[in-house]
Structure 1
Amino acid sequence: MRFVVYGAGAIGGTIGAQLFRQGHDVTLIARGAHYEAIRDNGLRLDTPDESVTLEIPVASRPADVKLAPGDVVLLAMKTQDTLPALAELYAAAPPEIVVACAQNGVENERLALRLFPDVYGMCVVLPAAFLEPGVIEAYMAPVSGALDVGRYPRGDDETARSLAEAFAGATFESRARPDIMGYKYGKLLNNLGNAVEALLGPGDQGKEIVRRAREEGAACLRAAGVEPPDVQPLISQSRPVRGRRRSGGSTYQSLQRGTGTIEVDYLNGEIVLLGREHGIPTPVNELLRRLANRSAREGHGPGELTAEEFWTALEGTGR
């Protein structure tokens, strides 16, 4: 099978690079300066153990890839970018492709299934960073992370097993799971702390805020009849790359890079949505969503809020 990695940032770049190193047919889709850097100089993958530059084929849009039936397209952009990305993919691809969502949150698979019949969810635990065009930093080695996969909305099949086998042979822990969305809901609960890390910076100063956000999240999932398994994070196993430790997760990196957008509407915002549907109050997640969106929109960097300022703002909401 050929892998087309649509969104070659931290997650997509690491997955594409490791698959390519194991001899898989891989094409990356990247944008702007990142596309130009990979096209002209290759993709550099820095890990705790080594730095390699790989001449991976790259395109700037799906129309330039010549997609064929049986190709596996790994979506790896942030969820707020998924709809326009899928529109481009739909215009350029035959319906017989496989779409696998290597993304946080639980909305991407549903969006993809509107357009393509063969959709797979991936529960991704992969500490990596993309802060410079053409360069990806992956902070675990020799195992790069975990990529469990399963058919959406549920089920196990040969494609899921083949994907898991390919990932497992390319430095990832990977299992085919028929209940993959349960695992993605479990990962969603972990990701509710992303906004806290982005707003307050790494450390324990936001520990109680994270606890409250996850408590709200768990209550909403119970009300929705979702009982996710515990997804143990691997982030604690990360190691420095070129003497530098991972500064923060994907939401933190969005503020750090000044992208102007952030993924919280599909992380904390997913809990807010479930709370509204099931009558569960979610004031902590709602405030995190609003503050993180404002920080991205106004160009603030990570770590510019204090815990005291957050609690004061929460009291001001009257909740």
Structure 2
Amino acid sequence: MRYIVIGAGAVGGAIGARLHQGGHDVLLVARGAHLAALRADGLRFVTPEGAETLRIPATGGPVPARADDVLILATKSQDTVAALDGWSRDLPVVCAQNGVANEREVLRRFPDVYGMCVWLPAQHLEPGVVAAYAQPCTGMLHVGRYPQGVDDRTEQIVADLGKHGLAARATPDVMRWKHGKLLGNLGNAVEALVGHPDGMADLAERARAEARAVLDRAGIPYSTPEEEAAVRGHQVDVRPITGVSRGGGSSWQSLARGSGSIETDYLNGEIVLLGRLHGVPTPVNEVLRREADRCAREKLPPASMPLETLNALIDERCAAGSR
């Protein structure tokens, strides 16, 4: 197979790097300064073991399809539709993305869609550079056909991912695992907005408790932290990288890059949507979604809001909802 990684940022760049190191044919899809750096100097892939420059082919857009191509979509969720424009609709698409809305959106256009639940702590802030912080495996990836099941292609993708530096599992109920990951990702907006002051973890847990009530009302199954810990073990432990400081997660990085957009509509916003559909109030996630989106539009840096201010906005929204 040739793996075409659309969105060669933190997660996509790390997956593409490990597939390339495993001897697979890889094409990275990027844009702007990142694409220029990849073409000129290659991908500088930095891990706790050291740094390596990988000469992986890169393009800015669709290329003629081959029969053995697999698209790995690693963009932010808000970019899903635009990122797939121009690619052959006959190709299988693996959604290596946070959130749970991408697979359904892609299935409108592509008949063969796979979900990927990604546990892969990585950072992309500088053109041409991706840092991945976990050992002994760079990431653990659950892969399954959407909406359910495992097929021969799933098994081949999992085998290829597992050849070098990644742990991968064929998972028939992949969307259950992605809903579990969604619960964990609800704290991304908190981190992006306020950083890591005392009390931020409590606010993130309020968002998750609200979300669990929504998912339970909707009858949507999700993996638990205990299940995730048992599967992950110590295969994806975060380690420091000499000379490379670790900032924050994907939403934090969106604000740090000043990208102008953020994926919160598909994380906290997913809970808000489900809450509205099933009659469950979601004031915590509603404020987190709104404020993260505002900060992205205004290109504010991460941690630009005091935690006290954010808590006050949430309390105000809760009070308004109770009247």
- Fold in common (TM above 0.5): yes
Write the distance in 2 (CA, Å) between the matches of 1:297 and 1:60: 25
For the residue of structure 1 that corresponds to 2:136, the secondary structure is coil
**Cα separation, 2, equivalents of 1:258 and 1:78:** 14
Q: CA deviation at 1:202?
A: 2.6
Alignment of 1:92-111 (within 5 A): 93=88, 95-111=89-105
Match of 2:35 in 1: 35
1:255 — aligned with what? 255
2:104 paired with 1:142: no
Unaligned runs of 5+ in 2: none
Q: Contact 2:14–2:132 (CA<8 Å) still a contact in 1?
A: yes
Contact 2:19–2:161 (Cα < 8 Å) also in 1: yes
* Counterpart position of 1:230: 224
- Hey, what does 1:131 align to over in structure 2? 125
Q: Which residue of 2 aligns with 1:59?
A: 59
In the alignment, residue 265 of structure 1 is paired with which amino acid?
Answer: D
Q: Does 1:185 align with 2:179?
A: yes
Give, in angstroms, the shift of residue 267 of structure 1: 0.1
Within 1, Cα distance between the matches of 2:116 and 2:293? 25
- Tell me the equivalent position of 1:118: 112
Determine if contact 1:43/1:56 at 8 Å carries over to the other structure: yes
Whole-angstrom distance in 2 between the partners of 1:281 and 1:266 = 17
Distance, in Å, in 1 between the alignment partners of 2:197 and 2:70 is: 38
Deviations 1:150-204 (A, max 9, x none): 0001011111111111111121111101100000000000000000010010354
CA contact (8 A) 1:220 1:275 kept: yes
1:101-125 deviation per Cα after TM superposition (whole angstroms, max 9, x unaligned): 0000011111111111110000001
Q: In structure 1, how many angstroms separate the alpha carbons of the residues matched to 2:49 and 2:165?
A: 13
Correspondence for 1:217 among 202, 211, 234: 211
AA paired with 1:76?
A
- In angstroms, what is the RMSD of aligned CA positions? 1.5
CA contact (8 A) 2:197 2:307 kept: no
Give the alignment of 1:279-290 within 5 angstroms: 279-290=279-290
Identity of aligned residues (%): 51
SS at match of 1:160: helix
**Alpha-carbon distance in 2 for matches of 1:221, 1:308:** 28
Tell me the equivalent position of 1:10. Answer: 10
2:80 is aligned to 82
Q: Which residue of 2 aligns with 1:24?
A: 24
Aligned-pair distance for 1:67? 1.5
Q: CA deviation at 1:88?
A: 2.9
**How many angstroms apart in 1 are the aligned matches of 2:279 and 2:137?**
42
Cα deviations by residue, 1:241-287 (Å, 9 ceiling, x for unpaired) = 22334210000000011101000000000000000000000000000
Deviation track 1:187-226 (CA, whole Å, cap 9, x = no partner) reads 0000000000100103543122111100111011111111
Maintained 8 Å contact 1:4/1:27:
yes
| Secondary structure, counterpart of 2:142 in structure 1 | strand
Match of 1:293 in 2: 293
- Which residue of 160, 164, 185 maps to 1:170? 164
Q: Which moved more, 1:194-203 or 1:280-289?
A: 194-203
Name the CA distance, whole Å, in 2 between partners of 1:315 and 1:174: 42
The whole-number CA distance in structure 2 between the counterparts of 1:142 and 1:245 is: 19
Aligned pair count reads 313
With the length of structure 2 as denominator, give the TM-score of the two structures. 0.94
Q: Which amino acid aligns with 2:214?
A: C
CA contact (8 A) 1:239 1:245 kept: no
Aligned match of 2:246: 246
Q: What SS is found at the alignment partner of 1:284?
A: helix
Q: Is the 8 A contact 1:47 1:140 kept in 2?
A: yes
Task: State whether residues 72 and 99 of structure 1, in contact with CA within 8 Å, keep that contact through their aligned partners in structure 2.
Answer: yes
Shift of 1:305: 1.5
Q: 185-194 or 134-143, which moves further after superposition?
A: 134-143
- Tell me the distance in 1 between the aligned counterparts of 2:196 and 2:203: 13
Greater alpha carbon shift after TM alignment, 128-137 vs 168-177:
168-177
Task: Give the CA deviation at 1:87.
Answer: 2.2
Q: Is the 8 A contact 2:271 2:285 kept in 1?
A: yes
Mapped to 1, the partners of 2:177 and 2:109 lie a distance apart of 24
Per-residue CA distance 1:26-77 (angstroms, 9 max, x = gap)? 0011101111101011111000111000110111101xx2222231100000
